[in-house]
Amino acid sequence: MADRNWGSLYSIGLLSWKSLIAILSLALTVFMLSWSLLLNTRGRSQFIDQNLFPHLKHHIPTSPIHHPPLISYEQQATLKVFMYDLPSEFHFELLYWKSDGYTPWPDLRSNVPEYPGGLNLQHSVAYWLTLDLLDSEFNNAGGGTAIRVHNSSEADVIFVPFFSSICFNRFSRLNPHQKTNKNKELQEKLVKYLTGQPEWQRSGGIDHVITAHHPNSLLVARMQLWPAMFILSDFGRYPPTIANINKDVIAPYKHIIKSYVNDSSGFDSRPILLFFQGAIYRKDGGFVRQEIFYLLKKEKDVHFAFGSVQKQGVPSATKGMQSSKFCLNIAGDTPSSNRLFDAIASHCVPVIISDDIELPFEDVLDYSEFCIFIRTSDALKDKFVMNFIRSISKDEWTQKWEKLKEVEHLFEYQYPSKKGDAVQMIWRSVAKKVPEIKRRLHTRRRFSRFEKPASQVFHCQETSLLDRRRN
């Protein structure tokens, strides 16, 4: 009997010991969670900045009514970029430009090759970045965020001028007589070229920057070139070890709809409440779009324009977005789309229903000041979206409309680039990753004296490291 009592006492003790541990770890979790939440609030950067950089103190707003500027361009040293002289079949030849055989690059002072128009343009990021680097050589009046250097040892990053998106757009169709296509061939050629370069071998690719803005571009080579920094539209079609927000940069789409210059419209003069342009039936994650379409299609204040902007005609889409108060952005088969940037250019307040969307420049940009975010689970409730949008006052809308006009230039791709446009903001995002690149390079060097060709070893190490961090 006594034994049994002991036994039960013992198990009670064990039980309470277990629950004590459980309570303790719960408390610890709650503490850490609230701490990380605290660190993630908007006040955080000021809180940290105050302590780390006392000289910034006088920038802290003294009155609670004062709103800090939406974007602050801190003074930043110029980013030094080494660009490979890749053969022109990897870049401007894809735009039907022909090299004279002496240099793979066009002379921009006499000829700026044009990018193929239409929907191709939305992914033209690599083109604008390359133009900007070429331009920095003879147009160095200052103001540029990145300059091209010819000694790779002096560079912060190594840029790979492969126009992977237009390569996908033009050459991904399978030739019926061959097993492969030019898009695949060029990527294989690129991997061979890069891994043969001293710059790549020196760093294992860590300090390389590769643009793959179309979600399907670089499909083959990404699996081998992933130690590099990618410039992407989103992470939708990437495993997190291959691309993630720590290593890579999210760049805006180039908007297809023309900017609304001298917009004197207002809440009352935009007759359509909610505008949606796009395909309804999508593959993959597109079912949400279809569901929301069924919920909204009976609403008389909603305007649906089916198909792509190009099919509908840019003029009609432009008119639609410029005549609407709100523009709907629902995740399609990828979390991001050019519609968001078309909406911004039209000053039509974006309503974003896409839980996994990654937004460009979000480290300096608070999108909630000019967009409306709705969780997918809420959007799927009957009447939720319409009731919510109708509840937004004219004042609040007008504030967001003003902010849209303030930030739209951040999403402008242009040549030559201008201060704070998309091109320079992307270089700025790349520059912010340089300390992390340095850290990874130094880590890689720890045991370098014991290894001959380090690249293979590094590959495995870094993969397992990333896996460990995710688990």
What is the binding site for ligand NAG (CB under 6 A)? 151, 153-154, 261-262
Q: How far is the CB of 322 from ligand NAG (least distance, A)?
A: 13
Nearer to ligand NAG, 41 or 151 (CB): 151
Sign of the CA dihedral running 229, 211, 411, 290: negative
Sign of the CA dihedral running 261, 265, 270, 276: positive
Tokens 């003029």 belong to 315
Helices (H), 235-326: 287-296, 309-312, 314-322
E strands along 114-173, which residues? 146-149, 157-160
Residue 12 amino acid letter: I
Q: What CA–CA distance (Å, rounded) separates 19 from 96?
A: 70
- Residues in CB range of 193: below 8 A, 6 or more apart: 84, 86
Q: Write the CA distances from 299 to 34, 40, 321, integer angstroms.
A: 41, 38, 18
Q: How far is the CB of 81 from ligand NAG (least distance, A)?
A: 15
Nearer to ligand NAG, 5 or 151 (CB): 151
Query: ω into residue 61 within 30 of 0, thus cis?
Result: no
Nearer to ligand NAG, 74 or 154 (CB): 154
Q: How far is the CB of 214 from ligand NAG (least distance, A)?
A: 31
Please say whether the beta carbons of 354 and 377 come within 8 A.
no
Nearer to ligand NAG, 40 or 262 (CB): 262
Q: How far is the CB of 409 from ligand NAG (least distance, A)?
A: 15
Please say whether the beta carbons of 385 and 379 come within 8 A.
yes
Tokens of 309: 């902007």
Q: How far is the CB of 229 from ligand NAG (least distance, A)?
A: 22
Nearer to ligand NAG, 110 or 262 (CB): 262
Nearer to ligand NAG, 208 or 247 (CB): 208
Q: In terms of Cα–Cα distance, which of 166, 120, 119 is closest to 308?
A: 119
Q: How far is the CB of 253 from ligand NAG (least distance, A)?
A: 23
Please say whether the beta carbons of 422 and 251 come within 8 A.
yes
Q: How far is the CB of 39 from ligand NAG (least distance, A)?
A: 38
Nearer to ligand NAG, 199 or 358 (CB): 199
Question: Residue 406's CB: how many other CB atoms inside 10 A?
Answer: 14
Q: How far is the CB of 445 from ligand NAG (least distance, A)?
A: 17
Q: How far is the CB of 152 from ligand NAG (least distance, A)?
A: 8
Nearer to ligand NAG, 258 or 282 (CB): 258
Taking phi over 0 as left and psi of -120 to 50 as alpha, with beta for the rest, 148 belongs to: beta
Residue 76 amino acid letter: Q
Nearer to ligand NAG, 110 or 151 (CB): 151
Tokens of 231: 């410039």
